[in-house]
Amino acid sequence: MGFDDDTEQYEIMFGLVHGIEHLYRENIEEGLYLIALAVPSVIDRAREWMEVLHYRIWR
């Protein structure tokens, strides 16, 4: 994943969020599995974006 809490490109980050939302809605089980695999590799540099993604998945 290309998320970074230090970014100044919020539109790009939200574009990634929207893209991920679209992909996991097409195949929710696989999508959520892949998100779960990816989160540990970005959590140190993108905790805030992972919180946004988590919130949007569960809304």
| Per-residue pLDDT tens over the stretch 29-46 | 888 888 889 899 999 999
Q: Which domain holds residue 54?
A: 24-58
Q: Is the residue at 10 inside a domain?
A: no
The per-residue pLDDT for range 2-11, each reduced to its tens digit, is 899 999 999 9
Q: Is the residue at 31 inside a domain?
A: yes
pTM above 0.85, yes or no: no
pLDDT at 59 over 80: no
Q: Which residue has the tokens 């993108």?
A: 46
Angle, nearest 10°, between helix axes 47-58 and 28-42?
A: 160
Q: What is the Cα–Cα distance from 4 to 42, expressed in whole angstroms? A: 8
Q: What is the Cα–Cα distance from 59 to 57, expressed in whole angstroms? A: 6
Question: Who contacts 52 (Cβ-Cβ below 8 Å, separation ≥6)?
Answer: 17
Under 8 Å between Cβ of 13 and 42 = no
Q: Is the residue at 41 inside a domain?
A: yes
Question: Which residue would you say has higher pLDDT here, 26 or 53?
Answer: 53
pLDDT at 1 over 70: no
Q: How many percent of the chain have pLDDT more than 90?
A: 42
Q: What is the DSSP secondary structure assignment for residue 6, as one 8-state letter? A: T
Q: Is the residue at 50 inside a domain?
A: yes
Total structural domains in the chain?
1
